[in-house]
């Protein structure tokens, strides 16, 4: 799964993702967590890439206001994405990029869980494959939320966890965002594990487990 990640270089987002303008204040975060409002990139009706702040944890269009336990999955499994009612329409038209510098995953050591920080050294600001939902309810309240797609782990990640987020190659990002691509089969082939040889993982402080901790030292390596 993917439950925490880092977006620590907002000043690089415009150039990296070819945004013509950026009208958002994007703070650094070294411990992005579910329910946070974080930047995602979509292609708007004018055919331009646009960054928007959305809440992490997808709220479906049919959710009722005031639900005590609203459905808000932070991840969507690539293997079943075309089967689940919550996701199968979004994969056709509501795909997004989720910018990140890296992510955290916890390795089960039996008596405790050790967090690892995972990066792509050759692509220090990359993109997860995401889906988003955007609607306005009968009371005029606007809802903008997203989820990150996960897949089976590669050789590196399988030593840490049973799932990993889908990281898109830069050359595939345009196709993923293209609103003219509405056949899920065309983009499903992109939802595969990123090559293990192009990733790096190392243990970090257990302080990352507390969402109140949000500082650059969270990604500093420690001895396991």
Please list, in sequence order, all residues whose beta carbon lies within 8 angstroms of the beta carbon of residue 88, skipping any fewer than 6 positions away.
81, 82, 184
Average pLDDT score over residue span 120-149: 91
Using DSSP's 3-state secondary structure scheme, residue 216 falls into helix
Residue 53 has pLDDT above 60, yes or no: yes
Catalytic residue set? 2, 105
Average pLDDT score over residue span 179-203: 95
- Average predicted confidence (pLDDT) for the chain: 92
pLDDT at 161 (0 to 100)? 96
CA–CA dist 42, 132 (Å, integer): 9
Average pLDDT score over residue span 175-197: 95
pLDDT above 70 coverage of the chain, percent: 96
Residue 67 has pLDDT above 80, yes or no: no
pLDDT band for 73, please (50, 70, 90 cuts). very high
CA–CA dist 217, 220 (Å, integer): 5
pLDDT at 186 (0 to 100)? 93
4-219: CATH topology: hypothetical protein yedk fold (3.90.1680)
CA–CA dist 144, 55 (Å, integer): 6
Whether residue 199 contacts residue 118, with contact meaning beta carbons closer than 8 Å, is answered with yes
pLDDT band for 155, please (50, 70, 90 cuts). very high
Q: How far is CA 7 from CA 12, 27, 158, 193, in A?
A: 10, 8, 24, 21
The tens digit of pLDDT for each residue in 86-134 reads: 999 999 999 999 999 999 999 999 889 999 999 999 999 999 999 999 9
Q: Structural domain boundaries of the chain?
A: 4-219
């Amino acid at each position: 799964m993917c439950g925490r990640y880092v977006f620590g270089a907002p000043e690089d987002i415009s150039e990296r993702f070819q945004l013509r303008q950026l009208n958002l204040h994007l703070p650094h975060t070294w411990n992005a967590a579910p329910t946070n409002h974080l930047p995602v990139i979509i292609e708007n009706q004018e055919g331009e890439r646009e960054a928007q702040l959305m809440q992490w944890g997808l709220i479906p269009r049919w959710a009722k206001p005031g639900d005590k336990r609203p459905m808000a999955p932070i991840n969507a499994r690539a293997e079943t994405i075309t089967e689940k009612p919550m996701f199968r329409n979004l994969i056709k038209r509501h795909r997004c990029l989720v910018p990140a510098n890296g992510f955290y995953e916890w390795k089960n050591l039996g008596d405790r869980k050790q967090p690892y920080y995972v990066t792509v050294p050759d692509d220090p600001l990359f993109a997860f494959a995401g889906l988003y939902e955007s609607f306005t309810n009968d009371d005029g309240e606007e809802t903008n939320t997203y989820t990150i797609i996960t897949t089976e782990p590669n050789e590196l990640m399988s030593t840490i966890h049973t799932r990993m987020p889908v990281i898109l190659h830069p050359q595939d990002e345009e196709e993923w965002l293209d609103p003219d691509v509405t056949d899920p089969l065309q983009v499903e082939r992109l939802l595969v594990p990123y090559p293990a040889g192009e990733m790096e993982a190392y243990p970090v402080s257990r302080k990352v487990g507390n969402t109140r901790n949000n500082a650059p030292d969270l990604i500093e390596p420690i001895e396991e």
